[in-house]
């Protein structure tokens, strides 16, 4: 992750953005689904996360980098954790979504943010920080992927980037870009899940078309937001195999952590992704989803998964 962006995320979670105003250009602008517009360094206080939280940290994934018209662009998924402690129990406020950063001359010129997942004491965010929550803003998207060319140093780097771009397209429903990152007959197989009830019996047998999956998936889950940890990439001639796990803390099924799980991201889906090399480009040909349920220990203030 770019140092500049890590500095922003740490300043945001620690509630000291005004003290880090040098990260931002003088004509800085932001548009957050949670709090609206921010114009200039003098309005950084609008991004306050004031409150007495014993623990604050971020978890970052799905980082995509490219250039557009002289701007360096970074899109990523980030979950912000604000945690209060009561004895051995830890009560989190979790806010997650997509960031898009515009960077020029090593300063942040613009930030766009869409809140896509929330859990815990959202009443605090609404009353103390004047936040608009997911139900209020789910149709007002800001973060989209441009149709740009990318240059890679290694095949592993390209494969990882293609997977992250495809997951972003899935969340934003930019099906006009699908052919660039997926084969024409790409399918999604939803074995051993409850999804076949919505998608039909073909979903866990031969699979359904990727475009159909994208259309129905977003209708089913407003908070669905494909944050992945890529576990393994294997390349064999013109085929590649990617194993990934999806991180969804807003679906833990309960409203608190304990001392053993407060720093453990929760993973609830495993993805087996197959890719093919077509005319020199790696493209996704199939994705197989299976349910899991596990936590993984972390120790960092800002973690890239």
Q: Report the helix count and the strand count for the chain, using DSSP H and E.
A: 7, 14
Pair of tokens at residue 16: 């000291």
pLDDT of residue 224: 59
pLDDT of residue 254: 46
H or E element, residue 196: helix 196-199
Q: Between 3 and 201, whose confidence is greater?
A: 3
* φ, ψ of residue 104 in degrees (nearest 5): -145, 135
H or E element, residue 163: helix 155-172
pLDDT in tens, 174-222: 999 999 999 999 999 886 655 556 666 555 566 788 988 888 776 555 5
* Predicted confidence band of residue 305 (pLDDT cuts 50, 70, 90): very low
pLDDT of residue 22: 97
CA distance 28 to 108: 7
CA distance 252 to 241: 28
Q: Does residue 248 contact residue 291 with C-beta atoms inside 8 Å?
A: no
Pair of tokens at residue 253: 């099924």
Q: Environment class of residue 304 by beta-carbon count within 10 Å: exposed (0-12), middle (13-18) or buried (19+)?
A: middle
H or E element, residue 219: helix 210-220
CA distance 225 to 246: 9
CA distance 25 to 40: 8
**How large is the average pLDDT for residues 270-291?**
92
pTM for the full predicted model: 0.90
**How large is the average pLDDT for residues 35-46?**
96
């Amino acid at each position: 992750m770019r140092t500049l962006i890590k500095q922003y995320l740490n300043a945001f979670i620690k509630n000291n953005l005004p003290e880090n105003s040098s990260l931002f250009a003088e004509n800085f602008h932001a548009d957050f689904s949670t709090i609206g517009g921010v114009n200039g360094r003098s309005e950084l206080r609008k991004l306050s996360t004031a409150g007495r939280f014993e623990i604050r940290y971020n978890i970052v994934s799905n980082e995509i980098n490219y250039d557009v018209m002289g701007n360096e662009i970074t899109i990523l998924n980030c979950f912000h954790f604000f945690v209060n402690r009561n004895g051995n129990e830890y009560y989190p406020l979790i806010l997650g979504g997509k960031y898009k950063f515009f960077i020029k001359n090593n300063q942040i010129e613009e930030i766009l943010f869409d809140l896509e997942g929330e859990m815990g004491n959202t009443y605090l965010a609404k009353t103390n920080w004047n936040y608009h929550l997911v139900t209020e803003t789910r149709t007002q998207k800001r973060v989209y992927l441009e149709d740009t060319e990318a240059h890679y140093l290694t095949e592993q780097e390209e494969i990882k980037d293609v997977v992250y771009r495809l997951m972003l397209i899935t969340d934003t429903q930019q099906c006009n870009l699908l052919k660039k990152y997926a084969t024409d007959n790409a399918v999604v197989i939803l074995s051993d899940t409850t999804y076949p009830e919505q998608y039909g019996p073909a979903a866990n047998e031969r699979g359904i078309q990727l475009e159909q999956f994208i259309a129905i998936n977003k209708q089913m889950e407003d908070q669905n937001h494909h944050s992945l940890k890529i576990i393994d990439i294997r390349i064999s001639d013109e085929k590649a195999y990617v194993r990934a796990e999806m991180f969804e803390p807003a679906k833990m099924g309960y409203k608190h952590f304990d001392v053993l799980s407060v720093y453990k991201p929760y993973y609830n889906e495993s993805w087996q992704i197959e890719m093919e090399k077509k005319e020199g480009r790696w493209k996704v040909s199939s994705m197989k989803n299976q349910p899991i349920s596990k936590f993984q220990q972390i120790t960092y203030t800002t973690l890239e998964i």
